[in-house]
């Protein structure tokens, strides 16, 4: 069947063909033809957000929690620029998005027309690829390629800018598979040589450690299973980046917890003292390595990554293997067979010694709820429900990473690379849509939650029982902490002045509001939140000036961690301050 | 006090084969600025009959680790087919074209013409008081010629930036 269809219509048909369930969007002049094509179409569900940043983050939350690409639809100019933060966020964290933006009619491009922005130019360096569509006849092929690029290789956002006249003009369309260009085919397999070398390096290691990242999650559940299988054969301890949490079960005896700036003592020491680091889908980010010249000085390094540009970017490795985590892990496992590695019991004894530091212990207070305790209780009371957790950015995010524990992939949604405050609520909304039967909780800070607070209305509209658990310390806690530790407690602009009454705010949006003011109300408040069949904000008042430890100050090595109870100078030299 | 540190740098010539699509040059040039890489020269022109593919030659400098990153970052752009680091691959020919305008009378005019002859520069425009010379060659040859013209009435210089190719019978 071949017939004339409008560009808008071809777009809708193409999205349906890709299996898209939800479109997160916001209408405007330059996308009216697309909104008209969506009108009454039951095959796609449009989720009307309250701000385009919310659309992009919601699509990220949907994508991260389901493994499917998220789709965003926004208008030209301010619609597109509002979405940019979410697009940049998805770019940094390798989240597959397809973002459709309206553009002024082709003839007006470049004339400073009403609501014109150079969307392709603005998004060029925060998308994996982008297009300006000039002819509706190109649309089907472009959309097909966009989905391929967004979801294969290292995933990421792809933007398609469609001028209004291209949405209205028609072209021949048929329901045969779209003809996309055959030009993108990332390498997915390691070479036999590389795999053999990896097996040999693992077999001779006396102190190996797995350092895993978001790539394992992106690669899909098979990668998680294979990681566990390989670990079982080798017995090496496992640590993960913030983005990789959930790939390895947190109740496993060989789990070290997260590494890096706020990682555990055992994870950072194991990295520092290992003789072999097997990095799977992580990228030696500065938050992970600490001072580069002191990073894992005595180890050989294997780096499995689908993105060649992640190899040797900051840390030189001995054996790079460019490929998909699942495929390469499978190759290693197959070649490993029934081999026996070295006896690593002495190494594991050392690891146990570091665990003895109990680096996540914290002092309780009889005056206020310690935020760490609040997360611990939230975890204990919800773990049976296998919840999906999103976060905002700040101390609460790190406490969630430290004290909430994950047992499977796609349960942990956080803005790692860009560190975007305001991510958590819309991400939770997207996740709830993708996982209608799951308990979805945004662990938030009092400052961050205000960055996309308007999305409360979205959850109300679609009857999404999302929960927000605010660790309310009345500060931009993470900023306050850095000012305390590096700027001699000059708390410049980090106090959360004029906070709203979050309970009343919840109620104003038709949510339930719960306030937890002291430890005796903590469990009951959490339980009430879980039991309520609808969206809830919990305003949990916590100790105001707690710091997040352990902490590797910027410019320091893994072995120079600050633990609770250590005295801290409260200042830093300029070299250290200049490090992010 | 903190000071900005410098690392030892190398100069590399890269050729990049790309889909000839809108925005590709901005994408590549922008990648260099966004990630803090250097562009010493950049040339581009389409090289296939149907104008679908272009070849870009970039001369860059930076620490070896950065050159490797540039290579990898370029390769991961969707419209990029191939990146060749000619400096890594081996002996190659690098050529540039320059137009050099010199104005002067008498002895200086004669000397300019004599030097142009030695450098095999061609006079492509002549008036009674000026020449435009066309000169192709390795960049340092052009540098030298331009330097000599400074004393002989140099008016302006236009250079293309280099194009380069691996020596021998094969494609790099
Ligand atoms: C959009 C954005 N702006 C600024 C920052 C810098 N920043 C990082 S953490 C933080 C404070 C967050 O405060 P809050 O949400 O209350 O969380 P807490 O640290 O107190 O848990 C700020 C301002 C950021 N990460 N994102």
pLDDT of residue A19: 97
- Environment class of residue B160 by beta-carbon count within 10 Å: exposed (0-12), middle (13-18) or buried (19+)? middle
Q: CB contact, 8 Å: B26 with chain A?
A: yes
Of A353, A208, A343, A202, the residue nearest A274 (C-alpha): A208
Residues ≥6 apart with Cβ < 8 Å to B5: none
Please state, in angstroms and rounded to a whole number, the distance separating the CA atoms of residues B84 and B14. 6
Is A261 tagged catalytic?
Answer: no
Distance from CA of B7 to the nearest CA of A (A): 14
pLDDT in tens, B84-120: 999 999 999 999 999 999 999 999 999 999 999 999 9
CATH topology of domain A2-174: Rossmann fold (3.40.50)
Which residue, judged by its Cα, is nearest atom 13 of ligand 1?
Answer: A476
Domains of chain B, first to last: 10-89 (3.30.70.260), 93-166 (3.30.70.1150)
- With DSSP H G I counted as helix, E B as strand and the rest as coil, what are the percentages for chain A, rounded to 5? 40, 20, 40
* Contacts by A2-5, CB closer than 8 A, 24 or more apart: A2/A172, A2/A173, A2/A174, A3/A172, A3/A173, A3/A174, A4/A170, A4/A171, A4/A172, A4/A173, A5/A136, A5/A170, A5/A171, A5/A173
Instruction: Tell if the CB–CB gap between B1 and A574 is shorter than 8 Å.
Output: yes
Please identify among residues 110-169 of chain B the ones whose CB lies closer than 8 Å to any CB of chain A: none
Q: Distance (Å) from the C-alpha of residue A201 to the closest C-alpha of chain B? A: 24
The confidence score (pLDDT) of residue A557 equals 86
CATH homologous superfamily for the domain A371-541 = Thiamin diphosphate (ThDP)-binding fold, Pyr/PP domains (3.40.50.970)
Most B CBs within 10 Å, among A120, A125, A160, A307, to test the B interface: A125
Is A1 in the active site?
no
pLDDT of residue A579: 64
Query: Is there a contact between B65 and A316 if contact means CB atoms under 8 Å apart?
Result: yes
Note whether A316 contacts B: Cβ–Cβ < 8 A.
yes
Domain ranges of chain A: 2-174, 192-356, 371-541
| Chain A residues in contact with B73 (beta carbon < 8 A) | 309
Closest-CA residue to A212 (of A283, A160, A131): A283
From chain B, the residues in CB contact with A121 under 8 A are 23, 26
- Centre of ligand 1 from the C-alpha of residue A477, in Å: 7
Kindly provide the ipTM of the predicted complex, given to two decimals.
0.87
Q: Is A463 on the interface with B (CB under 8 A)?
A: no
Answer for the pair B43, B162: CB distance below 8 angstroms, yes or no: yes
- Enumerate the β-bridge partners of residue A301: A277
Quote the minimal CA–CA distance from B69 to chain A in Å: 6
Q: Cis (ω within 30 of 0) for the bond into A550? A: yes
CB-CB neighbours of A547 under 10 Å: 17
* A476 alpha carbon – ligand 1 mean position (Å): 6
**Burial class of residue A375, CB neighbours in 10 A (0-12, 13-18, 19+):** buried
Interface check for A185 against chain B (CB to CB < 8 A): the answer is no
Q: What residues of chain A, 561 to 580, have a C-beta less than 8 Å from chain B?
A: 573-575, 578
Query: Token pair 């004393």 is at which residue?
Result: B151
Residue A312, token pair as written in the block:
């040797």
Q: Please check whether the domain covering A192-356 is classified as CATH 3.30.420.40.
A: no
CB count within 10 Å of CB A337 equals: 8
Task: Using an 8 Å CB-CB cutoff, list chain A residues near B30.
Answer: 124-125
Chain A from 109 to 128: CB within 8 A of any B CB:
120-121, 124-125, 128
Ligand 1 atom at minimal distance to the Cα of residue A448: 15
> Is-same-fold flag (A2-174; A192-356)?
yes
Print pLDDT tens along chain A (580 aa). Answer: 789 999 999 999 999 999 999 999 999 999 999 999 999 999 999 999 999 999 999 999 999 999 999 999 999 999 999 999 999 999 999 999 999 999 999 999 999 999 999 999 999 999 999 999 999 999 999 999 999 999 999 999 999 999 999 999 999 998 888 888 889 999 999 999 999 999 999 999 999 999 999 999 999 999 999 999 999 999 999 999 999 999 999 999 999 999 999 999 999 999 999 999 999 999 999 999 988 988 999 999 999 999 999 999 999 999 999 999 999 999 999 999 999 999 999 999 999 999 999 999 999 999 999 999 999 999 999 999 999 999 999 999 999 999 999 999 999 999 999 999 999 999 999 999 999 999 999 999 999 999 999 999 999 999 999 999 999 999 999 999 999 999 999 999 999 999 999 999 999 999 999 999 999 999 999 999 999 999 999 999 999 999 999 999 878 888 889 998 887 767 777 776 776 5
A162 contacts: CB under 8 Å, gap ≥ 6? A7, A11, A34, A100, A101, A102, A103, A133, A139
Interstrand relation of B154-159 and B92-103 (parallel, antiparallel or unpaired): antiparallel
Does residue B144 sit in helix, strand or coil? Answer: helix
> Residue A580: what pLDDT?
56
* H or E, element range at A524: helix A519-531
Mutate to test the pocket of ligand 1, among A53, A242, A476 (most ligand atoms within 8 A of CB): A476
CB atoms within 10 A of CB B93: 12
A395 is catalytic: no
Question: Do B69 and A313 lie within an 8 Å CB cutoff?
Answer: yes
Contact A341, A203 (CB under 8 A): yes
Mark yes or no for CB contact A309/B69 under 8 Å: yes
Size of interface A-B (CB pairs under 8 A): 46
- State the pLDDT at residue A138: 95
């Amino acid at each position: 069947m071949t017939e004339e269809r409008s560009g808008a219509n071809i777009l809708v048909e193409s999205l349906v063909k890709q299996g898209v369930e939800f479109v997160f969007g916001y209408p405007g002049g330059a996308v009216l033809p697309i909104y008209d094509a969506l009108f009454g179409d039951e095959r796609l569900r449009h989720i009307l957000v309250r701000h385009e940043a919310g659309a992009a983050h919601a699509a990220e939350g949907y994508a991260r929690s389901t493994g499917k690409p998220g789709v965003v639809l926004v208008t030209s100019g301010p619609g597109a620029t509002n979405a940019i933060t979410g697009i940049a966020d998805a770019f940094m964290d390798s989240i597959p998005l397809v973002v459709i933006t309206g553009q002024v009619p082709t003839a007006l491009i470049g004339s400073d027309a009403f609501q014109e922005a150079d969307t392709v130019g603005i998004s060029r360096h925060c998308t994996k690829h982008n297009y300006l569509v000039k002819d509706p006849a190109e649309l089907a092929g472009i959309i097909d390629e966009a989905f391929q690029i967004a979801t294969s290789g290292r995933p990421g956002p792809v933007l398609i800018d469609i001028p209004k006249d291209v949405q209205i003009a028609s072209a021949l369309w048929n329901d045969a598979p779209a003809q996309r260009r055959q030009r993108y085919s990332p390498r997915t397999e390691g070479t036999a040589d590389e795999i053999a070398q990896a097996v040999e390096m693992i077999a001779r290691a006396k102190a190996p450690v797995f350092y895993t990242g978001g790539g394992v999650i992106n690669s899909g559940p098979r990668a998680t299973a294979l990681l566990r299988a390989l670990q079982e054969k080798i017995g090496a301890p496992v640590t993960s980046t913030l983005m990789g949490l959930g790939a390895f079960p947190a109740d496993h005896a060989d789990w070290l917890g997260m590494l890096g700036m706020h990682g555990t003592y055992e994870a950072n020491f194991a990295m520092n003292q290992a003789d072999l680091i097997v990095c799977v889908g992580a990228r030696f980010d500065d938050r992970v390595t600490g001072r580069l010249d002191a990073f894992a000085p005595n180890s050989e390094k294997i780096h499995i990554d689908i993105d060649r540009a992640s190899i040797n970017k900051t840390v030189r490795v001995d054996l790079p293997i460019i490929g998909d985590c699942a495929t390469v892990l499978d190759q290693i496992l197959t070649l490993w067979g029934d081999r026996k590695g070295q006896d690593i019991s002495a190494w594991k004894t050392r690891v146990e010694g570091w665990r003895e530091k109990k680096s996540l212990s914290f002092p309780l207070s009889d005056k206020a709820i310690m935020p760490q305790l609040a997360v611990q209780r939230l975890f204990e009371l919800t773990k049976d429900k296998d919840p999906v957790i999103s976060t905002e950015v700040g101390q609460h995010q790190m406490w969630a990473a430290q004290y909430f524990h994950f047992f499977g992939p796609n349960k942990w949604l956080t803005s790692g690379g860009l560190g975007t405050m305001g991510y958590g609520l819309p991400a939770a909304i997207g996740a709830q849509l993708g996982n209608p039967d799951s308990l979805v909780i945004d662990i938030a800070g009092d400052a961050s939650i205000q960055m996309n607070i308007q999305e409360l209305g979205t959850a109300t509209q679609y009857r999404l029982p999302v929960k927000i658990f605010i660790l309310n310390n009345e500060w931009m806690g993470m900023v306050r902490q850095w000012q305390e530790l590096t700027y001699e407690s000059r708390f410049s602009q980090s106090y959360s002045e004029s906070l709203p009454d979050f309970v009343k705010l919840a109620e104003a949006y038709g949510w339930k509001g719960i306030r937890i003011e002291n430890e005796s109300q903590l469990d009951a408040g959490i339980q009430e939140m879980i039991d309520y069949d609808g969206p809830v904000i919990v305003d949990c008042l916590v100790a105001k000036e707690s710091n997040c430890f352990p902490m590797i100050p910027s410019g320091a090595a893994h072995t120079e961690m600050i633990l609770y109870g250590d005295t801290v100078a409260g200042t830093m030299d300029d070299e250290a301050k200049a490090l992010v | 006090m903190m000071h900005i540190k410098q690392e030892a740098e190398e100069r590399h010539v890269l050729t990049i084969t790309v889909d000839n699509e809108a925005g590709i040059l901005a994408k590549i040039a922008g990648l260099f600025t966004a990630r803090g890489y250097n562009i010493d020269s950049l040339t581009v022109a389409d090289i296939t009959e149907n104008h679908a593919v272009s070849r870009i030659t970039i001369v860059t400098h930076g620490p070896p680790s950065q050159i490797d990153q540039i290579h990898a970052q370029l390769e991961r752009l969707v419209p990029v087919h191939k990146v060749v680091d000619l400096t890594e691959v081996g002996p190659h020919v690098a050529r540039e074209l320059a137009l050099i305008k010199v104005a002067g009378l008498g002895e200086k005019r004669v000397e300019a013409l004599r030097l142009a002859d030695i450098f095999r520069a061609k006079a492509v425009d002549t008036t009674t008081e000026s020449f435009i010379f066309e000169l192709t060659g390795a960049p340092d040859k052009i540098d030298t010629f331009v330097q000599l013209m400074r004393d002989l009435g140099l008016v302006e210089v236009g250079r293309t930036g280099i194009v380069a190719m691996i020596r021998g019978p094969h494609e790099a």
